Each structure stands twice: as C-alpha cells, then as structure tokens.
A and B are shown apart, each in its own frame.
Chain A
Amino acid sequence: MRRFSAEEIRDLVVREVPPAGISLARTPLPTKTTWEDRTVEVDRVVKTACSRNCYDTCGILAYVKDGRLLKVEGDPDHPINRGTLCVKGYTYPQRVHSPDRVQHPLLRTGERGEGKFRRVSWEEAFDWICERLHALRERWGSEAFMEYLYSGNREFLGKQVSGRFLALFGASKLVGSF
C-alpha cells in the first residue's frame, strides 16, 4: 500500500472535508411541506438532532404546526445522514404525541410491580422525593442514594447537571458502560 505523506494528507483533508467550526447550513429552511397528499404551510421548521445511542446523531428538520410536531425529515446539509432518517427516526411525531405518554407525576398506590398509581402534582412529587432524600441521608448516609442512567437519551447536557447535584449531595457514582 502506498502511504500518503503528511503533506498529502493535509491537502486531502482540506479538499475533502468541510472546515471546522463553521455552520454547514446551505439549504434554506422550508416553510411548507407535503402532509397526507396535501401541501401544508407550517409554522416553523427547526434544526435539531437525534440523540439515541447510535453513531449517527442525525441532523433533523422538525416541522412544527399548531404546537405539534407534524413531521420530521433528515437535514440535507448534515454530512452523515444527508437528508434521510432511519425507520425509528421517522416515528418521532407518533412518539411525541402518543396517547400513551406519561402525562403527569404518578405516585404508587398498589403493591410494587402492580403498576397502580394516582395522579399527583409536581409540588407533591418534589416534596415526596426531598423528604425521602433527607431521611435516607440521615439514616444511611448520602452514598445510599444514586441515579441510574444510561443511553435512553444519550445527550450529555442533562447528565452533567444531574452530576452536579449528585456530586454536591455525595451520592454513589454510577460508572462503566454496556
């Protein structure tokens, strides 16, 4: 195999890879789209990204109408997914607006494992957690508490913020990967 020299590789990168740190957005964001065989005017199209546990982290164009996610498309300017999504990605509108979503805090009323709950307010939910965290720290020490978190949403911002709280509290730390 002939080996490229350092200069050749540098040239090749400049030629074949877009420059770093500069937006690659080129295609104007659409204002309308086809939906159930009609052309529909949408309220806005937002560029965002998928953060499932997957290499691709696809760029998404999210079409919003009347406060709802009408449809999603792959961002044509994203060098990896180049305008398409996968079968899972295309289900997002159905997922976001699923009637099965947990809609408000739920407190267990039945036995563990029965899945019986009653609706409570966020205020009540926070009080419930705080009361138990204080009691736990009092009785067992802070390391008796921890988070369990993995890649359901593999986005990194949320887990840094939880990490700040858990570090301050002195919780046991979850490590490793699977």
Chain B
Amino acid sequence: MQTPEVWSRHTELVLMWGCNASAAGIHQEIGYLYDAMERGARLIVVDPIVTAVASKAHLHLRPRPSTDAALALGMINHIVSRNLHDQDYLERHTQGFSQLMEEAGQWTLERTREVTGVPEGLIAQAAEEYATHRSLLECGYGHQRYTNGHRTQQAISALAAVCGHMGQPGAHCNFMEVGAAYTGFLNSARVQNPPGADIKKTRLISISHFGPALRAAQDPPIKGIIKWRGSLITQQPDARGMIEAVKGLDFLVSIDQFLTDDTDWSDLVLPACTIFEQWGVHPSYRHQYLQLQVPVLEPQHESMPDIDFWAELARRMGYEAYFPREWTGLDWLRLLLPDDFPLEQAMHPHGPVRLPERFCPPVPNWDGNFQTPSGKIELYSGVYAERAQRFPGEWDPVPRYVPSAESPDGDPERAARYPLLVVSQHPATRTHSQFGNLPYIQEIEGPATAMLHPDDAAARGIAEHDRIRIYNDRADSHVLAHLTRKVLPGTVELDSGRWIKTGGNVNLLIHPRAAGPRDVGDGVMAEYDMQLDGHTIPYFNLLVEVEKA
C-alpha cells in the first residue's frame, strides 16, 4: 500500500474500483480522498451501485456485476490502441505484455460495452483519463465477490502496470497485499511453534469452504469446535447446511459477547471480553501505523480475556510448560513482535507509531522491483503456470473474463428461474454480523430493507416499503422493499450481516462455493498458500426471484 499521506498529496486522479469508501475504511479512503479532490484530483468510481462516494465521482462506471475483468481488459486495449501505455515501464519492469495483449486485444469498446453494459464513450474516457494522469488505483473487494474475482483483480492490476502507474508517489495500485501482518512484522512462528515442542503437521481446513469441509472430513471427522471471534452460522454461506454440519459435532463451544445465531446451536457459551478488556495488536492490512491495545477496563461480568482462556485451557490439558501462569498479554506481545521494535512507543500513553519500513514501505515498489520470481510484474504469471502443474484450478497466467458461476451470464438456465442477482454491501452501520444488535445502530438502520430497481419492482407489482420475499430453491428471506435507481435493473441489494434469528439474513440463500484460483475440492487440504491459492467466498454469485410477501 502506498501510504495515503503520500498519494493524497501527489495523485491527479483516483480510480476507485469495487470500493464503497463511504461505508468502510472511511477515514483512510474518504478522508484522504477528499484531501486529494480538494487539491483538484479527479475521481473515477467503478461500482454497479450508486454509493455515496460514487455520487462524488467525476465519472461513474457501472458494470453489470462480475463483468469487471472485461471492463479492465477493454480499458487496457483502448489505452494501447491510443498509444497511451508506458512502453518504457513495460520493458523495464514487466514481463508478458504481448501475451496480455493477445487476450486484451480482443476487447474492443463495442464488445466491452456488450458484456459490461457500460457505454463505449464512458469506457474510452475513463481509460484515457486514467492513462494520462498521475493515477492511483484504489481497489476494494466488491469486484472480487464472484467466482471470477481472482481474474478480475489480475486484470485490474494489469491496467496499472500497462500505464506504468506503479511505485510512484500518487500513482500505484493499492490493494491489501502489503499489510504489516503479512510481511514478517508478526513473529507468529515463535509463538505457535515453541522451541522443544513436538509439533506435527496436521491437515488443513478451508474457512471459505467450511460447511462442505466439515461435512466431508473423514479419518477423523471433525467432532469438536471452539468457535470464537467469528460467526459460523450467520456469516458462512448456506446457513442451513452449516447447521446440519454443526449437528454432527460432539461439541461446539462459542466464546461470544452476545447470544447470537451461533450460541443458539452451541453446547457451551463462554462470555467474551470486548477490545477494551484485553491486550491486543492489530497491524492494519492497509496502512502503516500501529497503536497497541491495552486493557482499558476490568473484564466485565465474568468475561475472560481470550489469551487467558486459551492459556488456562492449555495448562489444564497438560501444556503448563508452554503457558507460564505469570505471563500477561504484554509478555506474549514481546514474543510476537520483533525484538528491536520499540513496543512502549506504540503503547498508552504513547503511540501510535509508524512501523519499520522493512515491513511496510510508504512508497512500495519505488525501485521497480517486485516480489515475483522474475522481480518484475508478471503480466504473464509464471507462478500461476507453475501452480497449475501442482493443483487443479483456474490458473490462467494472463487475465481473462470468464462469466462467474451463478450469474445471468454464467448460468442462464438458473437465471431464467431466478433472474435477479443479489449484491450484498457492507453497510456503514455494521462490521459483518456485529453492531446490528445495538440500540444506536437499530435506530439508524430501521427494519431490514433490500434495494430494488423501480422497473424490476413495477414488473412484480411491488411498491415502496412493501414487504417482499426474496427467494430461490434454497431458502427465502423477508424484508422491506426500497425502490431506487441506485441499483442496476436486474440486481437486488441486500446487506450482509443480518442475523438469522432477527430476519433478513442473505447467506441463507447462497450455495456454498469456493472461488478460485485454486480448486480446493471439499475444503480439506494438506497444503495451502494464502497468497497464491486465494479462493474466497463468492458471496454475490446469488440469483433470486422477488415477490410481494
């Protein structure tokens, strides 16, 4: 990540892709974005929904959901056809440009418009403006929530490389890849593999294919789970399948702050501390500052700090030697953070601090070097080509547009029965399934509501605030209708994170499916590389029909 203090001062144009900056990560995105815009920077937003930040954009491109890779390839082709690419940068710092163009070259403006629904003039203007300014590409996750999400990110990143908009103050492709949590700042191995311990390699279970993995795991089956800091039933796709899987367990323990969908299905519920009642460290995955978490209050009621729980459980299970009773969170922190990190500088009453540059440089890739085998941006990915020899999956070395699984393009047969695609935004009022139970938030949110295009509503005899049933052959969800042109015809917006027991949960309707590039089968694995294998949950590959309830 290029740090926002730098890009906001130098960029001439921000291309914000699949990122609802007005609802999530608002300080970094909106705060610094507006600083840049006050300096005169232009804003182009790519998002099918008219979000608040999109309403501030000079240009707003609204591709049909999951067609973003086609849009990026069409922009690349237009830029190259106008000779607006950076030939010098491509020669010095990339490989595979010709292979990229074999694919991108097929994306004429006309074909791009046909697939994405974005007018040709708008595609051309956005591409030309992006190429001819000092441009920052700010990527969110919206465009990734489909089975073709990895291909889309590949294509968007290639757009930045083709223009040479990398590693320069105000010109970079910002994505989550460089957060201190993943660049060696945290010495996880030192905590998890204590010296002298006999640690055996065990099998791996994918969190993004957890329900299927739980049902498929054999020899042994999964029989016991301690669930904490996560919402198993509310947030995994196919909540009903998840519940079936949970029924097969010998025991499920939940550590939670509230009585959630998960605790209802648990055998034992333990009171969790909030972030104000325990030690913690959370290096951002998108900026370079750190303030350590210190206990502000005593644990409330009988709640127990998470590390105290695990250490006590470990001691009782016979691992006293590895969990000294006198250790506080501070001792564990010293073990986890680099020995030369000035911890007290980041801790009350001090802090925050900027993290050492070796973990998160303020202007990454300024020297044109990249962490790939070739040291270059691999527009033709040798790593993918190699990975394809070892694991099944969608390892195309160059970006391609392939229709995503459960979408009008990808599954026309299903779309004939369930013609509307659901996009689930992360609302400003919730973080996944959290906060929605608080009175302040409920007062702001009101009842569960879905956004529906007026044309789709009219065709179904639905009026504003009518109670509607959103359904497919898996389940249904009852909410109120809000008729708005903020969504494209053919799409429905139903926020993620509503609890099943209080209504409006979207995940009930979703088929459990793992996105690529790697095909992880049933989700039980022997090895896995998070950076290469990906496979998040394609939450937006969801087709439904809507009727008045």
Query: Which A residues fall within an 8 A CB radius of B?
Result: 1, 3-4, 6, 9, 12-13, 16-25, 29, 46-60, 62, 64, 67-69, 74-75, 77-82, 84, 86-88, 90-92, 94-98, 100-108, 112-115, 117, 122, 125-126, 128-130, 132-133, 135-136, 139-165, 167-178
Leading 7 A-B pairs by shortest Cβ distance:
A155-B280, A55-B286, A150-B230, A23-B350, A103-B301, A51-B282, A158-B306
14 A-B pairs (CB sep. < 8 Å): A24-B354, A53-B431, A54-B25, A55-B25, A55-B285, A69-B276, A106-B268, A126-B316, A152-B231, A161-B311, A165-B323, A168-B319, A170-B202, A176-B208
What chain B residues lie within 8 Å of A162 (beta carbons)?
228, 306, 310
What chain B residues lie within 8 Å of A175 (beta carbons)?
204-207, 525, 528, 530
Structural contact, A9 and B207, CB atoms closer than 8 A: no
Bound together, the chains give a CA A41 to CA B235 distance in angstroms of: 42
Bound together, the chains give a CA A66 to CA B272 distance in angstroms of: 21
Asked if B274 is at the interface (CB within 8 A of a chain A CB), the reply is yes
Structural contact, B280 and A144, CB atoms closer than 8 A: no
Structural contact, B271 and A149, CB atoms closer than 8 A: no
Q: Which of A81, A88, A147 contacts B227 (CB 8 A)?
A: A147
Structural contact, B310 and A23, CB atoms closer than 8 A: no
Bound together, the chains give a CA A142 to CA B206 distance in angstroms of: 18
With contacts A133-B317, A173-B204 taken as known, whether A1 is within 8 angstroms of B266 at the C-beta atoms is no
Bound together, the chains give a CA A146 to CA B227 distance in angstroms of: 9
Structural contact, B441 and A152, CB atoms closer than 8 A: no
What chain B residues lie within 8 Å of A161 (beta carbons)?
191, 306-307, 310-311, 332
Structural contact, A17 and B5, CB atoms closer than 8 A: yes
Bound together, the chains give a CA A48 to CA B279 distance in angstroms of: 10
Size class of the contact patch on chain B: 35 or more
Q: What's the minimum C-beta distance from B490 to chain A, rounded to whole angstroms?
A: 25
User: Which of the segments B42-50, B63-71, B216-224, B411-419 contacts the partner chain?
Assistant: B216-224
What chain A residues lie within 8 Å of B229 (beta carbons)?
149-154, 158-159
Q: Which of B292, B336, B435 contacts A91 (CB 8 A)?
A: B435
What chain B residues lie within 8 Å of A112 (beta carbons)?
246-247, 265, 267
Asked if B461 is at the interface (CB within 8 A of a chain A CB), the reply is no
Q: Which of B205, B317, B329, B352 has the most CB of A within 10 A?
A: B352
What chain A residues lie within 8 Å of B429 (beta carbons)?
87-88
Closest A residue by C-beta to B275: A51
Q: A9-B366, A162-B310, A167-B193 are in contact. List 15 more A-B contacts (CB 8 A).
A: A20-B355, A22-B354, A51-B293, A91-B438, A97-B300, A107-B268, A108-B266, A117-B269, A148-B226, A156-B181, A156-B283, A160-B336, A161-B306, A168-B322, A175-B204
Q: What's the minimum C-beta distance from A110 to chain B, rounded to whole angstroms?
A: 10
What chain A residues lie within 8 Å of B310 (beta carbons)?
158, 161-162, 164-165
Q: Which of A86, A140, A148 contacts B230 (CB 8 A)?
A: A148
Bound together, the chains give a CA A115 to CA B431 distance in angstroms of: 24
With contacts A25-B350, A158-B307, A168-B197 taken as known, whether A107 is within 8 angstroms of B267 at the C-beta atoms is yes
Structural contact, B25 and A56, CB atoms closer than 8 A: yes
Interface residues of B in 310-347 (CB under 8 A from A): 310-314, 316-317, 319, 322-323, 329, 332-333, 336, 341-342, 345-347
What chain B residues lie within 8 Å of A88 (beta carbons)?
428-431, 434-435, 441
Bound together, the chains give a CA A106 to CA B266 distance in angstroms of: 10
Structural contact, A57 and B283, CB atoms closer than 8 A: yes
What chain A residues lie within 8 Å of B272 (beta carbons)?
102
Bound together, the chains give a CA A9 to CA B357 distance in angstroms of: 14
What chain B residues lie within 8 Å of A91 (beta carbons)?
435, 438, 440-441
With contacts A47-B291, A106-B269 taken as known, whether A145 is within 8 angstroms of B27 at the C-beta atoms is no
Structural contact, A64 and B297, CB atoms closer than 8 A: yes
Asked if B258 is at the interface (CB within 8 A of a chain A CB), the reply is yes
Structural contact, A12 and B6, CB atoms closer than 8 A: yes
Bound together, the chains give a CA A92 to CA B431 distance in angstroms of: 13
Q: What's the minimum C-beta distance from B418 to chain A, rounded to whole angstroms?
A: 23
Q: Which of B9, B277, B332 contacts A160 (CB 8 A)?
A: B332
